[in-house]
Amino acid sequence: MPALFPGTAEAREAQETAAKLREALRSTAPALQQIQGQLTRLACTSVTSGAFDAATIQGLRRASLLTDDRYLWHRPTMAALRALKKVDARDGCQTLKIAAAPRCLRVNNEDFCQ
């Protein structure tokens, strides 16, 4: 990747930071697959596409009702994975009744649901 000011300390620092960011983004894929596996185990979703899509967000929202732990349901986090692992499969989403359908809005390829 060409730098704005090649050969400077800032350019090297920016390239190192960008490499760390790319590695961090690559490392979230296993966490997402594990989250989707936990959501399937709890019967909160049946979709395991490997992508963080609307079905995964809806599953995380439903699963958040099963635990007192607080986590962000609009992005895959390790806190969500830890909270999902604590829930017994017998207490999964199949025991919940859905009172209303969610309303979702897609903005810049991100889903925001209420």
Q: Which DSSP symbol is given to 98?
A: P
Domain boundaries, the chain: 9-113
Residue-wise pLDDT tens digits, 98-111: 555 566 777 787 77
Show the CA angle centred on residue 11, arms to residues 9 and 13, nearest 5°: 70
Query: What pairs with residue 113 in β-bridges?
Result: 104
Q: What is the reported pTM?
A: 0.58
- Looking at this protein, which amino acid is placed at residue 44? C
- Complete DSSP assignment for 43-92: TS-----SS--HHHHHHHHHHGGG-S----SSS--HHHHHHHHHS-GGGS
Residue-wise pLDDT tens digits, 8-49: 888 888 888 888 877 766 666 668 888 899 999 999 888 777
